[in-house]
Amino acid sequence: MNLKRFWTMLKARNREFFRDRSAFGWNFLFPFLIVAGFGVIFGGQSYTEYKIGIYPHPNSPVQIDQVKMPEAFRNMRLLEFIGFASEAEGLEKLKHHKIDFLLKTGEPPYEYYVSDESPKGYVLEHMFKASLVPPEIQLPAQKKEIKANAIRYIDWLFPGILAMNMMFSALWGVGYVVVRYRKNGVLKRLKVTPLTAFEYLSAQALSRIFLLMFTLTVVWTGCDLIFAFTVSGSYLNLFLVFFLGSLSLTALGLVLAARGTSEEFTTGILNFISWPMMFLSEVWFSLEGAPQWVKSAAQIFPLTHLLQAARKIMHDGAGLADISLELMVLTLMTLAFLTIGASLFSWNK
Partner 1 sequence: MTALLEIRNLVKRYQDVVAVDDISFAIEPGICFGLLGPNGAGKTTTIEVIEDVIRPTAGEIFYKGRPRSGSFKDEVGIQFQSTSLLSLLTVRETLETFQNLYQKKTAIDDLVQLCHLAEFQNQYNDKISGGQRQRFLLALALINRPELLILDEPSTGLDPQARRNLWDLIQQIKKEGKTIILTTHYMEEAQYLCDEIAIMDGGKIIARGSPAGLIRNHSPEMTVILPKAHLKLEVDKLSLPVREADGRIELKTNDVNACLNTLMTHGIDLSDLVIRSPNLETVFLNLTGRKLRE
Q: Does 146 bind partner 1 (CB under 8 A)?
A: no
Cβ–Cβ < 8 Å for 235, 225? no
Binding mask 290-329 for partner 1 (x = CB under 8 A): ----------------------------------------
Q: For residue 186, state whether it binds partner 1 (rule: CB under 8 A).
A: yes
CB of 344 to partner 1, least distance (A): 17
Residue 19 vs 144, nearer CB to partner 1: 19
Counting contacts by CB under 8 A, is residue 189 touching partner 1? yes
For 182-213, give the secondary structure using H, E and C. Answer: HHCCHHHHHHCCCCCHHHHHHHHHHHHHHHHH
Instruction: Single out the segment in contact with partner 1 by CB under 8 A; choices: 97-105, 119-127, 183-191, 246-254.
Output: 183-191
Instruction: Tell me the per-residue interface mask from 3 to 42 with partner 1, x by CB under 8 A, - otherwise.
Output: -xx-xxx-xxx-xx--xx----------------------
Q: Which is nearer to partner 1, 10 or 35 (CB)?
A: 10
Binding residues for partner 1, total number by CB under 8 A? 26
CB of 258 to partner 1, least distance (A): 18
262 is a site residue for partner 1 (CB under 8 A): no
Q: Does 346 bind partner 1 (CB under 8 A)?
A: no
Q: Considering the rule CB under 8 A, would residue 1 count as an interface residue with partner 1?
A: no
**Options 93, 120, 152, 191; binder of partner 1; rule CB under 8 A:** 191
Task: Check residue 185 for interaction with partner 1 (CB under 8 A).
Answer: yes
In this chain, which stretch among 1-9, 264-272, 275-283, 304-312 interacts with partner 1, using CB under 8 A? 1-9
Q: Which residues form the interface with partner 1 (CB under 8 A)?
A: 4-5, 7-9, 11-13, 15-16, 19-20, 181, 184-186, 188-195, 347-348
